[in-house]
Structure 1
Amino acid sequence: MPYFSVIIPVYNRPDEVRDLLESLSNQTSYDFEILLVEDGSTLPCRSVANDYSEKLDIHYYYKENEGRSIARNYGMEKASGEYFIFFDSDCVIPESYFEIVRKELDRNYADCFGGPDKAHESFSDIQKAINYSMTSFLTTGGIRGGKMQLEKFTPRTFNMGFSRKVFESVGGFREMFSEDIDMSTRIRQAGFSIRLIRPAYVYHKRRTSLKLFCRQIYIFGMSRISLYLLYPDTLKIVHLLPAAFVLGSLAMIIASFFWPYAILPLLFYLLAIFAVSLFSNKNLKIAALSVITSVIQLGGYGIGFMKAFFLKILLGRGRDETEEIRLRKGK
């Protein structure tokens, strides 16, 4: 019986699943099974799973479309391992990942862990720029396992694991935006230990276009208010920074029409993003794109945050949604 059960929800991503399974087939430790849960896809990946059936202990399930959280819970119900690990279908896993995680858990066990993400050399320039903006200390990237922690570490489901005991005690994921933050919060509140295993990183492709990235990050900002209504003590100063960026940038742009030097702080900040990205990626195009993706990351989140604050808190429209989420049992 494998120690780890890897649970992967999938929706219309056969090509990404192939890359993910290929990386899993090259691990230095194979003490894991894979549960691939197809969430009502119209482009199923069954044939891809079959291609790797002789290389991996893989179990393919097809179910009606109910959302990624329900798909993960379905996988946990079918799992046989003692420790569940979650990847998104757009991840590629370094070959020593499971060897590192098992050694770290043997050395310093935690009921729940998470790891950071990086950009693989094969990723597109936009993907690398998005990865930079989502992990840089110059944005709010530190909260996702970067070198500078801006809040208490919260595992995300692109690279997250917890024990069977956690599942049996806390339940599964609830179908909502930012369901991984909700799950991590419930795990911590239940008294289980959570830690960051920094060497256990994954390559995360994220979105493939600026439009999709903007939409995703806007939803993240909206969902932060939903999380605040569920857990008021989880809202930190770092979550206010994107909104401050939006309001501050707007104020500097307006003031620059009357005093040109008012725009300088914003320009220096964008220049710093460019310089650090250039140093990290050694590529002028990626550095330039990083400025754009960082503005989208902060601006999209900030706008979503402020809109949700106005609608759900000031106008009181978040009460029914919050109560509905609380009634979901994560089954």
Structure 2
Amino acid sequence: MLSRIEKYKTKHPFKKVLIIIGALFLSVSVGSGVKTALADVDVQHLMANWFSKKQDESLKNIDEAIGEERDVLMGQLKDQLNAEMQLAEKQLAEFTAAQKQTRIAALQEYANNLKAGMKVDNREQQAAIMANLDAIITQAKVQMEGQAAELKLIPIPTPEMPPTQAPVVPTPTPNPVLTPSPGSEGNVEQAPPVTEPNPETAPEPNQSTEPTTEEPAASTPEPVVVDIYSVNNWFTMPNLQNVTVEEIAIAGGVFSTESTFSDIMMNSKAREAMNSILSGIENHPEFHQIQNKSIDEMSRIAPSLFNEKVLYLLNKSLSQITI
């Protein structure tokens, strides 16, 4: 006789199969879900690692690129600086040589003028000597005739040298001829009277005279060379409070700050425009030293006076005037 369990097993075999199948299905479902969750975690970790690695690589590449470009630019700057230094040295040497030649030429010209002015006019001295010789001969003749004669000599003036500072020959001022005053026969100008004439040999007259007082020649003041870099009052500064510097397009054939003062002075309109801004520059005592320079050059010589606003006003006015 079968037990209940065996009876149950024989009567319900399909139900058992279903239970087994359900358990298997449940196991497969749970395993798949765990696998999916683990896969998601792995993917996020891998993505994070990948982005971090790429970020480091990008930063490294950028740093290397910047370093390489910096080295290239530094090399270019160094080459450009060396070239500029060589150019500046060359320009300075040329400027020094030109200025040296200019100063030497000016000094030579000044020395030549001094040499041309060093001339002594001794015609007055020659005339005085001839008059004294004539007086001596006349006295000798009179003494030879047995008569007492008074010898009156004319003092020989000292020749005046021209002032060394003057490049031209000054007009010599003759010294006044000393004449004996009435009643003073024993003055220096006359020789002592001869007591006995010697017929064979004429007595030597006393030609000694007192040295005449020479008036000091009027000395011409030595020309003073003024350094134009030290001049700070070329003109009266105009009112620059409301002046705004703007860019000006300068066409060809017009005046500008690149024009020289001499060129501007030759044009009445340009001259008037310059004097309206640079008031008094034309009357400055040292203007002759800069008349061949341009206004731009003066901005480097006196930058505090020829500043950006002054140059702007000059360009604005001069660019309206045709050369």
TM-score per shorter chain, which class?
under 0.3
* TM-score, normalization by structure 2: 0.20
Q: Which has the higher strand share?
A: 1
Q: Work out which structure has the larger RCO, using CA pairs closer than 8 Å and 6 or more positions apart in sequence.
A: 1
* TM-score, normalization by structure 1: 0.20
Larger radius of gyration: 2
